[in-house]
Structure 1
Amino acid sequence: MNPVLASSNLPYGLPDFASISDDDFLPAYDVALAEHLAEVDAIASNTDPASFANTIEALENSGRALARANGIFFNLEGPDSNPQRAQIAQELAVRLTEHGNAIAMNAGLFARIEAVHASREESGLTEPQRRLTEQRYRAAVRAGAALDEAGQAQMREWSSRLATLTTDFGQRLLDDTNASAVLFTDLTDLHGLSDGEIAAARRAATDAGHDGGFLVALELPSSQGSVAKLTNADSRRKVFEASISRCARDNEFDTRATVLEIVELRARRARLLGYTDHAEFVLAEQTAPSPQAAADLLARLGEAAMAAGGRELDRISGGARLEPWDVTFALAADQRSGGDVDIDEFEQYCELESVLRDGVFAAANVLYGLTMTERPDLHGYHPDVRVWEVSRDGAGVGLFLGDFFARPSKRGGAWMNNIVDQSNSLGTSPIIVNVSNLTRPEAGEKCLLNLDQLVTVFHEFGHAIHGLLSDVDYVSQSGTSVPRDFVEFPSQVNEMWALHPEVVAGYARHHRTGEPAPAALLDAVRAATATETAHSTIEYLAASALDLAWHRLGPDEIPADVQAFEERALAEAGLDSDLIPPRYRTTYFNHVFAGGYSAGYYSYIWSEVLDAETEQWFLAGGGLDRDLGRAFADAVLSRGDSVDPVAAHAGMLGRDAQIGPLLARRGLDTTGE
């Protein structure tokens, strides 16, 4: 038995990663893909009348070997790539797309799905069964099942090409992010960075083969944490310019031609399927009613944010001329200038182990009854990965894997993945992974989190909670398998606990002395973070507007110049700023050109409407409270996509969510709502 496909005897079916080599993957996919097609052919050729059980449910339960292979390989390829895995990913991108097309365009299968879909209202289906039937039908149509033979051939060609292009974009970005790290030879150029950050830069230079010096690695967004700290303006400029020029130079990492081809093919595919553009195609499956509704929200927030941004820049500049690489540095200095307390000192009280154990995990225990027990006897896909067994009120739930430290083989950012999805019908328990890119401490030192990193750890564990608390029958409705513009909602809710008084009291202790964080420091941190900076709001809105602009183009409207289109799109959205670039510029916008957020980056702010309302709901009910946590879990977190998630949230609140709390949180409440 190929070790990728072999059943695991480890707890909860954790794959035995040590037994798997990269040479095992393609042979495993040969078997798994053939097995899945045989299962699908059996469903399609069934001579019994089509029913939910013998068609929709049978299709849902097919392809288990393929799901296992995907759960293993794609949890390796993102956080621990290598040349062989990159090559395998390129091949699989095409093969898996062609495989999906073969299933979607199986005429016999589609006829049976169509028959079950047509009778769904009168056949006594439960709500999850009806939703699954509708989803399967829509997915088949959107994949081209209802097209004629020529249309299906065109869909196959375009889908395969898109799979290659998006995989290539992600790999070029990873390579250029590593290649664009900035080498400094003089220690004084790094003044402002912590001792740990300087040690990490020295180690990175050595690991990259430099004889000496300090290599400052780049983070995924335009804004860099190091730029907010470096006191030398020329050092800030070098890092900033390296960040915003990624994949936009005439070299092997250039993604501009790739972007244009991706945008054109997405637009052509949407038009073939009867949609105006790719954005309309994407939002047909989201909770936002239309691309225009998403754009209207961005415009409403953008006008207020740009006005607030002007005031913010005037305040932090003090009348002096600012360059783009000065803005985040000046903002950080402004946050520290609100009193006698230096909020950067809070980092000394945010040691990773304490934050996890006494903050993130402790809050999940109080709210949801989750208990995390580390299992050093179990091993993940890389030596850095740690494994916890998760129980709820004494009963086993699944496994949580944490992969926290940056390395050259890991793509930037932070994210959650599933190795195994929860499903009652399949009897599977969730195995969830959180990946981040924290700076590895020197031997004998501790990993300290800045405020952004602290919030990110809580955010990603919010996704993990969504997966761990899932209690559904069907795997495609499990956990985070909800509309893209709803998926960020539970994770954003979990951010509220990062600075909650009861949670902070548990973890915020000095990493050397064990002394609790002073009350004055905590008050200063909360005051500094009470509302988002206008800068961060503009960064986000500009990236969201850019995403929508690219994906509202028709197939005959594709520009020749990426940068010129970007500038025009931001100007038309009223979000162009010489000092504040989008969170991601086009050439390194991994979310939309390599990830699953195309025409959907707006979803963070769309979800934040629900999140801000839910924060107020928690606080009004008493805050960190088991009954409230249970109500939230029962109504929303455990239900996945087995019910309408927005309706479930409204049912919990007792009304539809309103935008007022979001405007207040963002410091944009100028309308009196």
Structure 2
Amino acid sequence: MTNPFFAPSTLPYQLPPFAEITDDHYAEAIEAGMAEQRREIEAITAQADEPTFANTIEPLERSGQLLGRVLRVFFNKSSADSNDATNALEERYAALLSAHEDAISLDATLFARIDALYAQRDSLDLSDDQRYLIERRRTEMFLAGAGLDDAAKARLSELNGRLSTLSTKFQNNLLADTNDLAVVVDDVAELDGLTSGEIAACAQAAADRGLDGKYLITLVLPTGHPYLASLTNRELRERVMRASRARGSRGNDHDNREVLLEMVRLRAERAELLGFDSHSAFITANQTAKTADNVAAMLDRLAPAAARNALAEQEKLEAIAGHPIEAHDWAFYSEKVRAAEFDVDTAALRPYFEAERVLHHGVFAAATRVFGITFAERTDLVGYHPEARVFEVYNEDGSELGLYVLDLYTRDSKRGGAWMNSFVEQNELLGQRAVVVNNLNVPKPSAGEPTLLTFDEVNTFFHEFGHALHGLLAHVTYPSQAGTNVFRDFVEFPSQVNEMWMLWPGLVEDYARHHVTGEPIPAETIEKIRASETWGEGFATNEYLAASLLDQAWHRLSAEEANAVTDVAAFEAAALARAGLDNPAVPTRYSSTYFAHIFAGGYGASYYGYIWSEVLDADTVEWFKENGGLTRANGDRFREYILGIGGTRDPLESYREFRGREAVIEPLLTRRGLAA
């Protein structure tokens, strides 16, 4: 049988032929893809001709198409619908793929050709995106170690290979332990406070595991579970919180402590090998932040105010609870305060957030109003899982733009969290248009029951769709500059901006309608929600900053300091205490042993990027408000300067052109209640 990865897909937009792909195809295609790209790189470096953009950069951009096709499908599969076979393949190929990447990025001849183009860039006839591409390629190869001697390169490849293997192991351990620690409930009375739909979802999750007659609370990626805001049974809340915080640290086969300690040590050694004081210094050198000190300055500025605000909130919680607040109590009593002071019950909002209406009349409708794009479901196109739905996306003039794949529901084979990936990245060089996917983790209700989203799930939906828009609307010539291929501490900016439409007047009333009566969410309810927006920001900012500072604490260690750390819990406690964010009632959003963003998700030393990007986001929201909000003219400007450029230019330079000035931090401080 011909491997379906061996040729470009003949389906619309080159959507992968999921119906033909089996687990047996991946290894063969990965091996063939690596071999093919090695030959392509050798053809570039074997040339006797002087380097030009056409004979060096362009063929480099064309290289690796087979490998790219298979890896984009495989890594989505291993994240969204893994099994024993894909887990084994991921562990098997982690180091091999790392070595393959190193063979390219450390190739001295290839680097010499790109470096020569870099030196001549002012005299060459280059377009702006070509010049920027040369600059980025040269910087990335230099930071990857292309200038090291052979012995250093060999050690660097060893480090990269081992780190890739450990990252895969961390994720697989976390998924297994998350499944193992799901909380089994015998008596439905213990679920008091949950809606009938949530209870049905727990019953369905239990039935899916053969636990008929029982109820299962599956864990989410962050420390805090959404059900903690509703469950009246304090003992059950404590069980859920304890299970969440235990992941990866139980001394079993899924323990991540030694895994992450080795990763920290190897990252520190690699940074030193590359000439940096720490992994954080190495990472930020290739971000908009530029230095680890710049990151620390921002986080240190925000942390004290966030801690104070959290303590003030805690006093209110304890007054209404009548007892000391523990971590498993916070969300529950926070909702009590929200109801008492603002007359807002977020749990009561779920009947207004039916998923299908949120999708079509909220998420899609906002994109249509701002960017003019429209969506049509393609039931004739097959996704990678029966629950993955495919939508065709059109420009305002009716021309074809790309495909959007939505995979909404949680399952044991899917990792936690929510994310966006690309199956095909738009670029003119290869004549490709975008195919993007959003993965969420919404509990699936029983058959016949509506999918009712929580307030936070709706927010996450809009956020992740912002990433999808970035992938769909970027229009570039070269593949490496496509879509979300931007600096890590900039990539969250467009997605955070898209969250603003969730409560936008004229949109929320249309999509937030009671799933039974069809009545729109009351206007006074929306006003109360807006009035309560800064309530809880002390907690939210505290838990986020705690995670960001923990990430930096691990990754600002020198090689010598990293080797001296042996106790994960003690290191974490000391790091949070130094930052003044060690309030036991406000646990860090992710503890080290389940901090997938930094140990398995590409955000190592970069988790600060969310709030770094939020400075731009909050400033941009102010711009939209000042200029009429949800209009096509505003959408066109945002598309031209932010989404449409992909990675073709300096994003902060483009932001200055969009906004007419540098971003200011005051809107962020106001949003998070930190202005005082």
Say if 1:47 and 1:531 are closer, same or farther in 2 by CA, change over 3 A.
Answer: farther
**Structure 2: stretches of 5+ with no match in the other structure:** none
Alignment of 1:19-30 (within 5 A): 19-30=20-31
* Matches of 1:578 and 1:336, distance apart in 2: 24
* Matches of 2:303 and 2:344, distance apart in 1: 32
Q: Residue in 2 aligned with 1:169?
A: 170
Q: Residue in 2 aligned with 1:265?
A: 266
Q: Residue in 2 aligned with 1:18?
A: 19
* Matches of 1:374 and 1:204, distance apart in 2: 28
Q: Residue in 2 aligned with 1:588?
A: 594
Deviations 1:48-78 (A, max 9, x none): 1111111112111111111111121112110
* Matches of 1:640 and 1:107, distance apart in 2: 28
* Matches of 2:414 and 2:404, distance apart in 1: 19
SS in 1 for 2:227: coil
Question: Which deviates the most, 137-146 or 625-634?
Answer: 137-146
Q: Residue in 1 aligned with 2:661?
A: 655
Determine if contact 1:343/1:521 at 8 Å carries over to the other structure: no
Deviations 1:611-658 (A, max 9, x none): 000000000001111101100101111001101111111111110000
Deviations 1:236-274 (A, max 9, x none): 000000001111111011000001100000000010010
Deviation at 1:106, TM superposition (A): 2.3
Q: Residue in 2 aligned with 1:460?
A: 464
Deviations 1:514-550 (A, max 9, x none): 1111222222222222565211110000000000000
Deviation at 1:363, TM superposition (A): 0.7
What CA RMSD, in Å, does the superposition of the two structures yield over aligned residues? Answer: 1.2
* Matches of 1:624 and 1:198, distance apart in 2: 37
Q: Residue in 1 aligned with 2:515?
A: 511
Q: Residue in 2 aligned with 1:627?
A: 633
For the pair 1:386 / 2:392, whether they are aligned, the reply is no
Q: Amino acid of the residue matched to residue 180 of structure 2?
A: A
Deviations 1:13-42 (A, max 9, x none): 111101011001101112111111001000
* Matches of 1:67 and 1:620, distance apart in 2: 42
For the pair 1:566 / 2:572, whether they are aligned, the reply is yes
Q: Residue in 2 aligned with 1:554?
A: 558
* Matches of 1:275 and 1:132, distance apart in 2: 24
* Matches of 1:231 and 1:295, distance apart in 2: 39
Q: Residue in 1 aligned with 2:350?
A: 347
Deviation at 1:341, TM superposition (A): 5.4
* Matches of 1:233 and 1:44, distance apart in 2: 65
* Matches of 1:532 and 1:300, distance apart in 2: 19
Q: Amino acid of the residue matched to residue 517 of structure 1?
A: I
Equivalent of 2:450, from 446, 449, 454? 446
Q: Residue in 2 aligned with 1:157?
A: 158
Question: Which deviates the most, 528-537 or 5-14?
Answer: 528-537
SS in 2 for 1:428: coil
For the pair 1:97 / 2:98, whether they are aligned, the reply is yes
Q: Residue in 1 aligned with 2:361?
A: 358
Q: Structure 1 runs of 4+ off > 6 angstroms?
A: none
Determine if contact 2:73/2:423 at 8 Å carries over to the other structure: yes
For the pair 1:297 / 2:303, whether they are aligned, the reply is no
Q: Amino acid of the residue matched to residue 380 of structure 2?
A: D
Q: Amino acid of the residue matched to residue 617 of structure 1?
A: W
Deviations 1:281-310 (A, max 9, x none): 000110013111111111111111111111
* Matches of 2:470 and 2:535, distance apart in 1: 26
Question: Which deviates the most, 75-84 or 513-522?
Answer: 513-522
* Matches of 2:117 and 2:169, distance apart in 1: 39
* Matches of 1:227 and 1:434, distance apart in 2: 26
* Matches of 1:235 and 1:665, distance apart in 2: 33
* Matches of 1:443 and 1:175, distance apart in 2: 27
* Matches of 2:513 and 2:544, distance apart in 1: 32
* Matches of 1:135 and 1:637, distance apart in 2: 19
SS in 2 for 1:545: helix
Q: Residue in 2 aligned with 1:327?
A: 330
Deviation at 1:475, TM superposition (A): 1.1
Q: Amino acid of the residue matched to residue 665 of structure 2?
A: I
Determine if contact 2:81/2:414 at 8 Å carries over to the other structure: yes
Say if 1:341 and 1:140 are closer, same or farther in 2 by CA, change over 3 A.
Answer: closer
Say if 1:45 and 1:622 are closer, same or farther in 2 by CA, change over 3 A.
Answer: same
Question: Which deviates the most, 206-215 or 586-595?
Answer: 206-215
Alignment of 1:380-529 (within 5 A): 380-393=383-396, 394-529=398-533
Percent of matched pairs sharing the same residue: 48
Alignment of 1:49-68 (within 5 A): 49-68=50-69
Question: Which deviates the most, 397-406 or 520-529?
Answer: 520-529
SS in 2 for 1:88: helix
Q: Residue in 2 aligned with 1:369?
A: 372
Say if 1:297 and 1:28 are closer, same or farther in 2 by CA, change over 3 A.
Answer: same
Equivalent residues, number: 670
SS in 2 for 1:598: coil
SS in 1 for 2:247: coil
* Matches of 2:343 and 2:430, distance apart in 1: 58
SS in 2 for 1:617: helix
Determine if contact 2:426/2:475 at 8 Å carries over to the other structure: yes
* Matches of 2:555 and 2:123, distance apart in 1: 38
Determine if contact 2:364/2:374 at 8 Å carries over to the other structure: yes
Determine if contact 1:341/1:520 at 8 Å carries over to the other structure: no
**Structure 1: stretches of 5+ with no match in the other structure:** none
Deviations 1:394-426 (A, max 9, x none): 110000000000000000000000001110111
SS in 1 for 2:510: helix
Deviation at 1:595, TM superposition (A): 0.6
SS in 2 for 1:183: strand
Deviation at 1:132, TM superposition (A): 1.1
Q: Amino acid of the residue matched to residue 653 of structure 1?
A: R
Deviation at 1:320, TM superposition (A): 2.5
Q: Residue in 1 aligned with 2:617?
A: 611
Equivalent of 1:600, from 590, 606, 625? 606
* Matches of 2:207 and 2:284, distance apart in 1: 47
Q: Residue in 1 aligned with 2:34?
A: 33
Deviation at 1:211, TM superposition (A): 4.7
* Matches of 1:305 and 1:418, distance apart in 2: 36
